Structure 1
Amino acid sequence: MNKKFDNILDNKWWQEVAVVAFSFTIYTLKNDWMLFSSFTSILMGVFFYLVLYMHAQFNRFFLLPILFKTQRPVTYIILTLFGVFVFSVVLYEITMLDMFSNCHLYQNSHQRSYAYQLASVLGTLVCILSPIIVFKFYRIHRKKTNETLLFNEMQLNSLKGQLNPHFLFNTFNTLYGISLEFPERTPDLIMKVSQLMRYQLESNNKKCVSLEEELEFINSYVQLEKERVGYRCEITYDFKIDNENAYKVSPMLLIAFIENAFKHGTCAIEKCFVRIIITVENGLLHLHVVNSIPTKKTDVVSTKIGLKNTIERLNLIYGKNYKLDIQDDKNTYIVDFKVQLKKFVE
């Protein structure tokens, strides 16, 4: 229903019909058409309305461009007032013709004056031009909004296209490290990696997934990392959600922060830690990730694509409606992220 209504609003012809219907209704109410006793009187009334409508269209196509295109408001006002005066005189002279003497329209004493015709022309002009201008700006705003949405969607798809290979690269690095130290566990781990890849591919074309799906994905990734470095790294993953199935989130949005913690927090033989805490209360998602910074760390291949793209995605999806605080000191690296999630059914 809303889509059909939007289509009507976007259609110029339907907009024109709405403007005519609105202005004609106001015109008939103003002139008490209920008093008309003959078909001829109604035709005369339609004729007078068409004169007023022609004046409004003249202003619309010849004078309004002076205001909107050449930006000369004073010239537009002067020409508009002159046009209103000319058409009011013309309308008054028409009502004085003998052929309209039997028409009830404009025959009352208060209607037989230049002032009344001037008010009629000016009032009808406002009734016709006002909705036309409103519709015009609505179309312009709708066009800009659609262009912005299309551009944002193209940017998001581009960021996803960069992020997905980045995640694949890091995951296979993890699998490679495990296979060197624990080759007997490689088949099971390959299956886990396969599940991660399946989720990645299936969610790639979705704007949103359920929070439960995203958490299962994160949990699988954390378990994979525990297989790799759990023997020498303290890994804590805890989550508390008030209602998992009620919320939706953009897929692969949180994983970059978690990946980064494991990549840089476990790149040394010395004891290290990674702590991940996710809470959702009343729709407010809070991700808190803390990882140790080794004093003697090995070289880590880092393209910095993951965090950069994630922040750009956050800006495109949520604008300024999120909080991201990253603290980097000598011993720990802390990510604190908060965002209000949307519900599936609101």
Structure 2
Amino acid sequence: MKHPILSGSGYKLYALIWLIVMAVHGSVLYFYYDFTITISIADSLVYNLIFGSIAPGFWFIVTFGGLNKDELSLLGTHIGAAGLTIILWLSISGYLLRMLFLNNAEYLNFISSVTIWRVIIGALFYSISILIFYLIKYYQDMQKRMNLELELQNLLKDSELRMLKSQINPHFIFNSLNSISALTESMPKKAREMVIKLSDFLRYSLGKDNSELNPLDQEINNATLYLEIEKVRFGDKLRFEKEVSEECAQVKVPNLILQPLFENAIKFGVYDSLEPVTIRLICESSDDMVYLRITNNFDTSSIPSKGEGIGLENVKRRMSLVYGRHDLVEIEKGRGEFTATLKIPLNLNEDE
């Protein structure tokens, strides 16, 4: 734990405080007790410089004095430390001043007569110093706890992002390998084409950091690879259209955030439909938000597949973790059309 005075720039404030104390001390001696300016300055400098030199050591009493001790033992520690400090302070200061003004009987008598007040002032200085150090220590401990808590939250967030991402690739790989296996004998050329596209897709996916934000055009290119892989299986039954302006193309989005939405559109649109299904990606921007809409038509007469899988919930959770908001994913299911909307805050993209 850093010393508040000996490390950093804390010594500047500490020196300023003691300069003020010295000025007040010297003024009292000069104006109230009518001592000469020399005696007033000397008395103030010696007493305050010595105590000011001793006081930084109180930090170690505050930091280590309470380890494995109850309140009574801690109180005894402070009483003992205060007593020893005052004795050393008055002994050293008094000796130096007596040597300086050996022939000034009036001042020597003054030193002896105000000893009790010096003891009280010393106890007050010690108490104030200890109180300030305890407050600083409490603040440092609180900051340390907050930093540790933030670090833990970031680790948990990163772990959850890794877990969510890890759920995507195995799920997709499993489906793709099944499709490749089915195509190997019947359509070996398409199987080979699918393997190449799958390799390109995985090279992009596995090379990205979990919390990284990528330009939308990169994510679209990668998602297009996914759709081309699926198109090997579904042929003309699967169609893809996009409307993305150049401005939208450079907006940064979480990596692999589109692929689960396309996978969901295929699973609940293309699988059960006898007619061609068109997946559309539309990007629109406003002053503070970019809207990504992925729509697909579906056969209303078909029996829907059971469950929604991990795709949509995965996207919702990742958006929440990355942007710290829970209102960035909207799902709409109308008659014959399904729409998933992602809202990307522009202010965060500007900070990246």
Instruction: State the TM-score, normalizing by the size of structure 1.
Output: 0.69
2-structure distance, mates of 1:157, 1:36? 72
The answer to whether structure 1 residue 146 and structure 2 residue 151 are counterparts is yes
Q: 2:237 aligns with which of 224, 232, 238?
A: 232
Q: Deviations over 1:49-105 (max 9, x none)?
A: 255445565456567999xxx9x9xx9xxx79x97xx77x9589938974253579x
In the TM superposition, what is the alpha-carbon distance from 1:282 to its structure 2 partner?
5.8
Q: Deviations over 1:268-325 (max 9, x none)?
A: 3432443322345567332212223323437858681233333332232222265211
Q: 1:94 aligns with which of 90, 97, 101?
A: 90
The answer to whether structure 1 residue 169 and structure 2 residue 165 are counterparts is no
User: Residues 218 and 153 (structure 1 numbering): CA distance in 2 closer, same or farther, change over 3 Å?
Assistant: same
User: Structure 2: where are the runs of 5+ without partners?
Assistant: 27-36, 102-109
The alignment partner of 1:337 has SS state of: strand
1-structure distance, mates of 2:188, 2:236? 16
8 A Cα contact 1:242 1:281, kept in partner: no
Find the counterpart in structure 2 of residue 259 from structure 1: 263
1-structure distance, mates of 2:303, 2:326? 37
The answer to whether structure 1 residue 25 and structure 2 residue 15 are counterparts is yes
Partner amino acid, structure 2, of 1:192: K
User: Residues 115 and 44 (structure 1 numbering): CA distance in 2 closer, same or farther, change over 3 Å?
Assistant: closer
Which runs of 4 or more aligned residues in structure 1 lie more than 6 Å from their structure 2 counterparts after TM superposition? 33-43, 63-66, 110-115, 176-182
Aligned ranges 1:238-253 → 2 under 5 Å? 238-242=243-247, 244-245=249-250, 247-253=251-257
Larger Rg: 2
8 A Cα contact 1:322 1:337, kept in partner: no
Backbone CA RMSD of aligned residues: 4.9
Q: Deviations over 1:212-254 (max 9, x none)?
A: 3212112232344445445235543322241644x43321122
The alignment partner of 2:340 has SS state of: strand
The answer to whether structure 1 residue 49 and structure 2 residue 52 are counterparts is yes
Find the counterpart in structure 2 of residue 5 from structure 1: none
2-structure distance, mates of 1:298, 1:203? 37
User: Residues 304 and 15 (structure 1 numbering): CA distance in 2 closer, same or farther, change over 3 Å?
Assistant: farther
- Which structure is richer in relative contact order (CA contacts within 8 A, separation 6 or more)? 1
In the TM superposition, what is the alpha-carbon distance from 1:165 to its structure 2 partner?
0.5
Find the counterpart in structure 2 of residue 268 from structure 1: 272
8 A Cα contact 1:238 1:276, kept in partner: yes
Query: Percent identity of the aligned residues?
Result: 18
Instruction: State the TM-score, normalizing by the size of structure 2.
Output: 0.68
8 A Cα contact 1:235 1:273, kept in partner: yes
The alignment partner of 1:101 has SS state of: helix
Find the counterpart in structure 1 of residue 282 from structure 2: 277
In the TM superposition, what is the alpha-carbon distance from 1:167 to its structure 2 partner?
2.0
8 A Cα contact 2:296 2:337, kept in partner: yes
Q: 1:215 aligns with which of 220, 224, 239?
A: 220
**Alignment length, in residue pairs?**
324
Q: Deviations over 1:106-153 (max 9, x none)?
A: 98xx99777865664455345434433322211111111111111222
2-structure distance, mates of 1:63, 1:13? 17
Partner amino acid, structure 1, of 2:95: M
2-structure distance, mates of 1:57, 1:197? 56
